[in-house]
Structures are given as structure tokens and as C-alpha cells.
Amino acid sequence: YYLDKWSLESADTVIAVSKQTAKEVAKDYGFPLKKMTIIYNGVDPKRFFPEQRSEDIRRKFAVKDSMMILFVGRLRMRKGVQYLIRALPSVLKYENDTTLLIVGDGESRISIQNLTQKLGLQDHVKLLGKVSDDLLPKIYASSDVFVLPSLYEGFPLVILESMASGLPIIASKVSGIPEVVDNEAGVLVNPKDVTGLAEALCELIANHDERRKIGEYVRRKAVEEYSWSRIAEQTAQVYKSTMAEHV
């Protein structure tokens, strides 16, 4: 805490990855908001893009023509994967040909496996662990819906990666997520809301045209607002402005 506080107080300016993060820094460290600049994380739209959608990927990880729901992230309790798994039985009652792909590893892997078995979801939940950098963009593009049911986040890169890949998003209404996932980008639910997750998934599964419309919107938004080239320009401007103050 004291090293963080000293670093902040020694800085000419501080870049925060979301408005919510800036507010938390101001509250926890007494650092003035006026000395902070908001610059969101970025994404490479040439690495993550919808045209990588692959039927081979879909056949490898899911039942033919099934809905593919995707989670990407470290497996820890605060990521909320357990609530997504608990929502899946209700989704399967609506659309039995549904597969949840979980990409990532972590300390909660065993508990997630146990919950999956307890609910009898072994045929519908695939824990892929860590995947290669080449494979990950293809998995994004080949999925139908991205879900991030976190209890806390700063500003998650996976949201931007899913947007660039043209995926509708269902995410928790926490931290910096609502700053990028607006009403046109998908659905926000309260954290730990199993029923809300299930209803949001069923709604998107039922409406192919809506998924396509959202996919086009989030792809465009990722390219125009969150590409690394744009983020780099914003960051460079902060350095220029800060240096100019010392001339």
C-alpha cells in the first residue's frame, strides 16, 4: 500500500484503465482525480476478427450446429464461472444443443470440474485450459456468445477481444465493464445472478438476427475506439502534455 501511495504521489500524472479504477484509486489512496487520465486497454483488430470463424473448430469442441458459449479468463472464484455453470441447466432446457467452452486455468479448476460433474454437465462443459496464441482468436470467432460473469474487474482485455471478434457479450454489471458494454453491445446482469445469466443467454440464443446485429456493432466499436493504434496515440498525447508542463 505504501509503495503504491508513494509511486502515485511521485507521479506527474497517472493513467487509469477505467473511470471506475480512477475512482477506486482516488478513494483508496487519496489521490486527486484531476491528476488522472482515463485511457482504456486496447485490442489488435487484425489478430481478433470474425472472419476466422471455423467449422473445424466448432466440430472439435462442440456438437454439430450447437450453440457455443465462451468464457476466457483465469479460473478463480472472483471470475464467477461457477455462476455461469449453475445457469447452464436452465439454458439446456431451452436449447439442449449448447456447449460452454472455458478457456484458461487457475486455482478454481478442480472446484469447477466438481461442480460440472455434480450438475451432470460433463457433455456440455469443455475445460480447455490454456490454449495457444494462434488458436485463441479462432475460438473467439467460432463462438456465438461471450460471457464474463465476474464479481470484480478493472478493465478486462477479454471483453475487447470478444468485441473485435464480433461476439455479443453477457457480463456482470461491475467495475469498468459497463463503461464499454453498452445496451447495444450485449446484456449486463448483476453479479452472482444465475437466473439473470440464464435469461440473457436464452434471449440471445433465440435471436440469431440480434446476435448478428450486435456482432457487427461491437466489431465496429472495437476497431474505432479500442484499437491499439488509437490507444497508443492517446498515451503519447499524455506524455507530450506532461512534458510540456515542465518546459
For 167-180, how does the pLDDT look when each residue is reduced to its tens digit (9 = 90+)? 999 999 998 899 99
Element (H, E) at 82: helix 81-94
| pLDDT > 90? residue 124 | yes
Give the span between the Cα atoms of 179 and 128, in whole angstroms.
Answer: 29
pLDDT range class, residue 228, cuts 50, 70, 90: very high
pLDDT range class, residue 12, cuts 50, 70, 90: confident
| DSSP classification of residue 73 | S
Can you give the pLDDT at residue 181?
94
Element (H, E) at 16: strand 14-16
Can you give the pLDDT at residue 243?
87
Write the DSSP string, 104-121: ---TTHHHHHHHHHHTT-
| pLDDT > 70? residue 63 | no
| DSSP classification of residue 50 | G
Residue with cell 473485435: 164
Residues 179-206: pLDDT tens digits?
999 999 999 999 999 999 999 999 999 9
Cell of 237: 498525447
| pLDDT > 90? residue 246 | no
pLDDT range class, residue 104, cuts 50, 70, 90: very high
- Mean pLDDT value across the chain: 94
